[in-house]
């Protein structure tokens, strides 16, 4: 992804107000209070549970007071059974590592996030917590990852699931086995794609 971003930067004329840093999401080598906005797209659910508090603390450290966060992530609707939580197939499907909504809410409020925004498109799933923190369930169909894997192929022949990153025949075979296992699970029963847009208030 970093190489692709750098290539796109070069194609756009190497704008001098753009730079890239490769770092762990739990420790980003930037100074405090530097960011006006932080965007995260379906990444936090892949962070080990014990390290998730550090992710939210790092966002709070980097944001200026009043700075905004826009997060799209997979959140659990109810506690996962042990076999699903430990399922390699569910983890590769970007589901097994997701947190309960209540845990997300706690981590956000403990790190000083607040703010109320309207979201007409997903108003049916609007949920207010803490000092007006908003978490919206988009009601997206998570089983689409399974359907894409079964029906669609990327140009290089890879199964088009959310975590594909190699094109070897062995990896394709393993991925097809993972998709087959996921096909036995209704992902929407256990988790949903959620959106948060909030401010840091301190």
Q: Quick one: tokens of 100?
A: 């309960």
Looking at the structure of the chain, the number of domains it has is 2
Question: Residue 61: which CATH number?
Answer: 3.40.50.150
Contact 201, 112 (CB under 8 A): yes
Residues 86 and 124 in one domain: yes
Sign of CA dihedral 53, 24, 7, 38: positive
Residues 127 and 66 in one domain: yes
Q: How far is CA 193 from the centre of its chain?
A: 9
181: in domain: yes
b/e sequence 91-107, b meaning 16+ C-beta within 10 Å: bbbbbbbbbebeebbbb
10: in domain: no
Q: How many CB atoms lie within 10 A of CB 52?
A: 19
pLDDT tens track of the chain, all 202 residues?
889 989 999 998 888 888 899 999 999 999 999 999 999 998 999 898 899 999 999 999 999 988 888 899 999 999 988 878 887 777 766 788 899 988 988 888 888 887 544 344 434 444 444 445 678 888 888 877 666 544 444 444 443 344 444 344 445 544 455 555 566 678 888 888 888 878 877 6
20: in domain: no
Q: How far is CA 161 from the centre of its chain?
A: 15
> Domain range for residue 173?
144-185
Residue that has been written with the tokens 């062995």 in this structure? 170
Contact 201, 131 (CB under 8 A): yes
Residues 114 and 181 in one domain: no
3-state secondary structure 155-183: CCCCECCCCCCCCCHHHHHHHHHHHHHHC
CA dist., res. 171 & res. 154, Å (int): 14
Residues 90 and 177 in one domain: no
Q: How far is CA 55 from CA 43, 44, 99, 146, in A?
A: 10, 8, 13, 28
164: in domain: yes
CA dist., res. 162 & res. 97, Å (int): 14
Q: Quick one: tokens of 91?
A: 């983890």
- Tens-digit pLDDT profile for residues 125-143: 444 444 456 788 888 888 7
CA dist., res. 47 & res. 90, Å (int): 14
pTM of the shown model? 0.72
């Amino acid at each position: 992804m970093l190489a692709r971003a750098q290539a796109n930067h070069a194609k756009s004329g190497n704008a001098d107000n753009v730079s890239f840093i490769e770092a762990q999401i739990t420790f980003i080598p930037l100074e405090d209070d530097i960011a006006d906005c932080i965007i995260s797209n379906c990444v936090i659910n892949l962070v080990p549970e014990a390290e998730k508090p550090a992710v939210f603390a790092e966002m709070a450290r980097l944001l200026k007071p009043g700075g905004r966060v826009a997060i799209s992530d997979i959140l659990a609707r109810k506690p996962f059974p042990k076999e699903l939580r430990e399922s390699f197939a569910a983890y590769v499907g970007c589901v097994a590592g997701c947190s309960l909504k209540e845990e997300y809410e706690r981590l956000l409020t403990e790190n000083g996030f607040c703010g109320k925004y309207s979201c007409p498109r997903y108003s049916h799933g609007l949920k207010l917590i803490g000092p007006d923190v908003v978490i919206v369930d988009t009601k997206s169909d998570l089983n689409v990852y399974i359907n894409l894997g079964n029906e669609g192929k990327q140009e290089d022949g890879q199964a088009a699931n959310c975590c594909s990153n190699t094109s070897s025949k062995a990896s394709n075979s393993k991925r097809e086995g993972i998709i087959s296992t996921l096909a036995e699970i209704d992902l929407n029963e256990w988790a949903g794609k959620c959106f948060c847009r909030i401010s840091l208030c301190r």
